[in-house]
């Protein structure tokens, strides 16, 4: 299934299962002001209400089903050995749980018309939840591999306001290639984007319902600041776990026992 309404009764269980207590170091102390993302729904045809949710409450089932350790052939393709699974990669998990998700307010259906052309239908007679533009609008921009060239548009079901000085990356939910579409990426400054358009491409071959409550985008707020890229020599490699010649100075056992989590990772809090 592309998505399903979120069960808010599971919020605490999801939060506990993602992060072990002994690693709960956060980016800021308790005196740091909390930033607020304001949002408002209430569009015609809305049947799903929790249109903005913290990503941490929406970790996909396939991630929960992955194993911390797996057995697979060694690098030569021969004898099986233990390999660290994806749950060893905290940066991968961070991408899944950081920021906020935007969710579809009503169901839509991907169908074929009498000419076998893909169309998207819906029940909303007042405001279309999706639209489309011909491919010529974006030529020569390539469409994502495995997707139709048609340039569809989410009419986002919310108005969103970020704090002064902040922008937001609006993008396809990170690492969510299981969804039957790919939303494009944009950065929005200040403007609270009521019902803004966000382009997406349908997966080739997909037909059926995309139900209300499906996550269609991820928002990553960031503070607008000026940056300079500066090259250093002889320091940054050793801040990691490897020397510049490729030799390790942190043992593999230490790495697999949460070295990154213990030494560098900070918990990001989005409620």
Q: Which pTM was predicted?
A: 0.83
Give bridge partners of residue 198 from the DSSP assignment. 154
pLDDT tops 90 at residue 80:
no
Q: For residues 235 and 79, what is the distance between their CA atoms, to the nearest angstrom? A: 38
| Among the listed residues 108, 6, 107, 21, the one whose alpha carbon sits nearest the alpha carbon of residue 60 | 6
pLDDT in tens, 189-215: 887 777 788 999 999 999 999 999 999
Structure token digits, residue 104: 């579809």
**CATH assignment of 8-263?**
2.70.40.10
pLDDT tops 90 at residue 12:
no
Give bridge partners of residue 223 from the DSSP assignment. 166
- Which pLDDT band holds residue 27 (cuts at 50, 70, 90)? low
pLDDT tops 60 at residue 234:
yes
Could you state, in order of their start, the residue ranges of all structural domains in the chain?
A: 8-263
pLDDT in tens, 91-137: 999 999 999 999 999 999 999 999 999 999 999 888 889 998 877 88
pLDDT tops 80 at residue 79:
no
Q: How far is the CA of 29 from the CAs of 32, 260, 266, in angstroms?
A: 6, 21, 12
């Amino acid at each position: 299934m592309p998505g399903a309404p979120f069960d808010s009764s599971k919020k605490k269980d999801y939060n506990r299962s993602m992060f072990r207590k002994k690693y709960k170091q956060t980016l800021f102390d308790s005196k740091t002001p909390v930033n607020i993302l304001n949002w408002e729904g209430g569009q015609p045809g809305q049947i799903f209400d929790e249109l903005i949710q913290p990503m941490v409450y929406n970790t996909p089932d396939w991630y929960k089903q992955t194993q911390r350790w797996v057995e697979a052939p060694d690098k030569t393709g021969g004898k099986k050995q233990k390999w660290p699974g994806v749950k060893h990669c905290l940066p991968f998990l961070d991408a899944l749980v950081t920021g906020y998700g935007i969710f579809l307010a009503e169901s839509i259906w991907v169908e074929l018309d009498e000419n076998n052309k893909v169309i998207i239908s819906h029940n909303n007679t007042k405001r279309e939840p999706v639209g489309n533009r011909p491919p010529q609008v974006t030529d020569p921009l390539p469409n994502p591999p495995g997707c139709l060239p048609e340039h569809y548009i989410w009419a986002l079901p919310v108005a969103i306001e970020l704090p002064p000085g902040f922008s937001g990356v609006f993008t396809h939910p990170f690492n969510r290639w299981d969804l039957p579409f790919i939303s494009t990426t944009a950065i929005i400054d200040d403007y609270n984007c009521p019902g803004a358009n966000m382009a997406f491409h349908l997966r080739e071959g997909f037909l059926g319902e995309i139900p209300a409550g499906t996550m269609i985008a991820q928002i990553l707020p960031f503070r607008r600041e000026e940056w300079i890229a500066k090259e250093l020599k002889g320091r940054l490699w050793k801040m990691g776990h490897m020397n510049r010649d490729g030799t390790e100075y942190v043992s593999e056992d230490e790495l697999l026992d949460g070295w990154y989590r213990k030494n560098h990772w900070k918990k990001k809090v989005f409620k």
